[in-house]
């Protein structure tokens, strides 16, 4: 079964850091580009970042550029999102998503990040 399982969310103070992980299984992880998408409570979907299949290139939304870093370890079938200088507006469920020909075909259940003092 194709599966993505996020972890690492939690409560963090403004200005703090957090690293999210996404464990992939059931498919050849190293062959796929991957994304992070977030959803603030009661709000819509917002794309955060993308990484290519070999991990050499990350792309970011302007709202997180310079604060978030996407990476992957293909040997461990794991995607990461390192988040720093966190703000209250970063509070959201963060989804790990597989890219299939551009569309987002597999989604994890998400991990909640709350930025609050």
Partner 1 sequence: DFVMTQSPDSLTVSLGERATINCKSSQSVFYSSNNKNYLAWYQQKPGQPPKLLISWASTRESGVPDRFSGSGSGADFTLTISSLQAEDVAVYYCQQYYTTPFTFGQGTKLEIK
* Binding site residues, partner 1, CB under 8 A: 35, 44-47, 50, 59, 61-62, 95, 100-105, 107-110
Q: Which is nearer to partner 1, 50 or 72 (CB)?
A: 50
List of residues 6+ apart from 66 with CB closer than 8 A = none
Q: In the complex, what is the shortest distance from the CB of residue 65 to partner 1, in angstroms, rounded to a whole number?
A: 10
Q: Contact 71/58 with Cβ under 8 angstroms?
A: yes
Q: Which is nearer to partner 1, 84 or 106 (CB)?
A: 106
Q: In the complex, what is the shortest distance from the CB of residue 47 to partner 1, in angstroms, rounded to a whole number?
A: 4
Q: Which is nearer to partner 1, 6 or 72 (CB)?
A: 6
Q: In the complex, what is the shortest distance from the CB of residue 36 to partner 1, in angstroms, rounded to a whole number?
A: 11
Q: In the complex, what is the shortest distance from the CB of residue 75 to partner 1, in angstroms, rounded to a whole number?
A: 26
Q: Which is nearer to partner 1, 16 or 67 (CB)?
A: 67
C-alpha dihedral, 100 to 106 to 111 to 114, nearest 10°: 50
User: Cα–Cα distance between 113 and 91 in angstroms, integer?
Assistant: 5
User: Cα–Cα distance between 83 and 32 in angstroms, integer?
Assistant: 22
CA distances from 102 to 3, 22, 40, 43 (A): 18, 19, 23, 23
């Amino acid at each position: 079964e194709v599966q993505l399982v996020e972890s690492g969310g939690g409560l963090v103070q403004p200005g703090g850091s957090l690293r999210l992980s996404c464990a992939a299984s059931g498919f050849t992880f190293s062959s796929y580009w991957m994304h992070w998408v977030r959803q603030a409570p009661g709000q819509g979907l917002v794309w955060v970042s993308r990484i290519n299949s070999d991990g050499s290139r990350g792309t970011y939304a302007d709202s997180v550029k310079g604060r978030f870093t996407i990476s992957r370890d293909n040997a461990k079938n794991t995607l990461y999102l390192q988040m720093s200088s966190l703000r209250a507006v970063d509070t959201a469920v963060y989804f790990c998503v597989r890219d299939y020909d551009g569309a987002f075909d597999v989604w994890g259940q998400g991990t909640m990040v709350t930025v609050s003092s």
